[in-house]
Amino acid sequence: MIYDTLSRKGLTPGVRDAHDHPQPEYLIDVRQAVKRYESAAGAFTALKGVDLQINAGEFVGVTGKSGSGKSTLLNIIAGIDRPTQGEVFVGQTAVHLLRERHIAPWRGRTIGLIFQFFQLLPTLTAIENVMLPMDFCRMFARRERRKRALHLLEQVGLAEHADKLPTELSGGQQQRVAIGRALANDPPILLADEPTGNLDSQTAEAVFRLFTELVVSGKTILMVTHDSDLARQVGRAIILGDGEVIDEVTSTRRPAVRGA
């Protein structure tokens, strides 16, 4: 079902020929990814041959010390950055081979991005921020976009704040708007980079519960976090150290879902 969704969204650039290749075993498949950066101070290797496979419907956490390569890993999966070596597949799309002009439209339909500092446009209201991805990717009929954005804000508990600017919202409310924006085009995958890092513990738990509900509804989430308590609650935690996977922990604890 998840691959039918990817196909319906027109992910043709860089897609492997379905007649020549079987359906991919994993929704996200990172193979021996290396990422090196060159600077005036010299070369720095952020990822050193990382392998990561994620099934559709998984909730996976990535944790590790600062500089361990967590954000770089998310960036190469999202196509924000390219691996120096190795391969990155999302469904049947070879992300590392996508042409520059195809990356943003592919990402807009396939991946919802959530950041630590929200990155909402300050001059747009909450509902206008949520509508942006739909406008950019020309998803849904124009007359349907505001209605869908309002529905998403209702899902994250902010419908009554739809016409407020980000400066009129708390940090937790802004993050919920950002989650609504990430869901705008109904992407199968959410990539969250320290989504609770700028929130108090109570609000962070509320955001985590929302993520859990989204996984139950069929989304696949890869979340970078420094919060070891949250990392222990996801289905699987990948621990990075100096650009390498140094451990992997599968949780036997099922996160609580509101109303359960």
List the CATH number of the domain containing 62: 3.40.50.300
Q: How far is CA 183 from CA 111, 134, 212, in A?
A: 9, 10, 14
Helix, strand or coil, per DSSP, at residue 218: coil
Instruction: Give me the domain span that covers residue 96.
Output: 2-250
Distance CA 178, CA 27 (A): 23
**Global confidence as pTM:** 0.85
Distance CA 139, CA 116 (A): 26
Strand arrangement, sheet containing 244-250:
111-115, 189-193, 220-224, 59-64, 236-241, 244-250
DSSP bridge pairs for 34: 48, 85
Instruction: Give me the helices (H) in the chain, please.
Output: 2-8, 70-78, 100-110, 126-137, 142-155, 171-182, 201-216, 228-231
Residue 179 buriedness (CB in 10 A; 0-12 / 13-18 / 19+): buried
Per-residue pLDDT of the chain (260 residues; tens, 9 = 90+): 443 444 444 443 444 443 445 567 899 999 999 999 988 888 899 999 999 999 999 999 999 998 899 999 999 999 999 999 999 999 999 999 999 999 999 999 999 999 988 999 999 999 999 999 999 998 899 989 999 999 999 999 999 999 999 999 999 999 999 999 999 999 999 999 999 888 888 888 888 999 999 999 999 999 999 877 788 889 999 999 999 999 998 875 554 443 44
Q: Is residue 260 part of a domain?
A: no
* Structure confidence at residue 46 (pLDDT): 96
Q: Is residue 140 part of a domain?
A: yes
Distance CA 99, CA 95 (A): 9
Q: Is residue 145 part of a domain?
A: yes
Q: Is residue 256 part of a domain?
A: no
Number of domains comprising the chain: 1
Q: Is residue 125 part of a domain?
A: yes
Q: Is residue 37 part of a domain?
A: yes
* Structure confidence at residue 253 (pLDDT): 55
Task: Enter the tokens of residue 134.
Answer: 């739909």
Question: How do strand 111-115 and strand 236-241 relate by DSSP bridges?
Answer: unpaired
Distance CA 102, CA 100 (A): 5
Distance CA 42, CA 62 (A): 27
Q: Is residue 258 part of a domain?
A: no
